[in-house]
Amino acid sequence: MALQKTLAWLLLLTLLSLELVQPSYGQPHMYQRFLRQHVDPIKTVNSNSYCNVMMQRRRMTANHCKHFNTFVHENIWNIRSICSAPTVRCKNGQMNCHEGLVSVTDCKETGSSMFPNCRYQPMASTRIIAIACNGNPPVPVHFDR
């Protein structure tokens, strides 16, 4: 219990520090949304309920059950460094995506899940992701794949 409280405080401090260093260029709203929906550097919950807790905590089950989401378990500086990788084509055809190898947890809604009782199955892995980046310097604004 004490470890969970410590980790929760550490997450809160991390998110607050990210607020302080957010870029004032590019698309700050989209950057903040990316952080909220996809970044969990210390994987604050280590159990089968990880996705259920995180999807609710990050407000992705407020109006409906989001079908799929990926949480990246890297610090924001490692994630931002992906924006320096060569560009690749995004799913929408734009050329502002970049790829990098990271630790992730994919959260997939279970077939029996119904709003407001959204339920998710976690799948942890290390894989290559693609993120869209905008701004100068570029910051992540969209999780592409």
Where exactly are the structural domains of the chain?
2-143
Is the confidence at residue 79, as pLDDT, over 50?
A: yes
For 83, list phi and psi in degrees, rounded to 5.
-65, -15
Query: Is 38 part of the annotated catalytic residue set?
Result: yes
Residue 73 annotated among the catalytic residues of the structure: no
Look at residue 3 and tell me whether its pLDDT is greater than 70. Answer: no
The pLDDT, as a whole number, for residue 114 is 85
Give the model confidence (pLDDT) of 6-37 as tens digits: 444 444 344 444 443 444 444 689 999 999 99
DSSP track, 62-110: SSS--SEEEEE-S-HHHHHHHTTSPEE--TTS-S-EEEEEEEEEEEEE-
* Tokens of residue 31, six digits: 């950057």
2-143 homologous superfamily: Ribonuclease A-like domain (3.10.130.10)
Report yes or no: 131 and 144 within 8 Å, Cβ to Cβ.
Answer: yes
